[in-house]
Amino acid sequence: MKTVPLDKSRHDRKRFDCGIKALNVYLQMMANQQSARDNTRTFILEDKHNPQWIIGYYTLTMTTIDLGSLPLKLQKKHRLATSGGLIARLAVDKRYQGRGFGEWLFVDALIRLLDASNSVAFPLIVVDAKDGALAFYKKFGFLTFFDEENKLFMTMDSVRKSFGEK
Ligand SMILES: CC(C)(COP(=O)(O)OP(=O)(O)OC[C@H]1O[C@@H](n2cnc3c(N)ncnc32)[C@H](O)[C@@H]1OP(=O)(O)O)[C@@H](O)C(=O)NCCC(=O)NCCS
């Protein structure tokens, strides 16, 4: 399996339904435009039998990090850092949920960000756990910021270790 950049002439965005309207609308109306403007990038996992059908997607960009909402040790370590990689959205179509695709997409997003951080260093990966997906991300060891319940982070160092690097 591999993800590919969203291609509006190939992918049937209208068919996509993850059960959360805001995430459907983002894919259908915003994702392509935001990528064309270099604001975000959206990657698609296609159904191999019907590649125009979308199993799931995630959207990546950068975010500012508020050092004050991190544990003291990390505040000190990263005091000169300002940005983190952000998994802004991640969703799986209802017809494919519960079959491991969400987890696979999440790991794929981490690998992509890890790869990016090897060229343009940033110390954290942040996820926006919209609409009750907190537990999904906590399962993978992501931690909540002190002041933002629905935002979670993992240090690049921990991500690397979770892939058996370093
Ligand atoms: C959340 C979502 C991405 C999970 O995708 P999925 O393909 O159904 O999940 P998977 O089959 O890969 O599940 C992997 C594991 O996560 C668990 N899981 C799935 N959804 C979960 C949720 N919302 N909360 C907690 N755990 C969840 C599964 O039980 C499974 O655990 P296990 O390995 O112990 O059995 C998907 O349900 C979805 O798109 N939901 C709507 C949109 C959304 O909430 N997006 C995330 C926030 S932006």
User: Which CATH class for the 3-162 domain?
Assistant: alpha beta
Closest CA to 90 of 70, 69, 67, 113: 113
List, for residues 78-93, the tens digit of each pLDDT value.
999 999 999 999 999 9
Q: Is 45 in the pocket of ligand 1 (CB under 6 A)?
A: no
Average pLDDT for residues 67-75, to the nearest whole number?
A: 92
| Ligand 1 atom closest to the CA of 98, numbered from 1 | 11
End-to-end CA distance of the chain: 26
Ligand 1 lined by 120 (C-beta under 6 Å): no
Residue ranges per domain, the chain? 3-162
Q: Report residue 70's pLDDT band, with 50, 70 and 90 as the boundaries.
A: very high
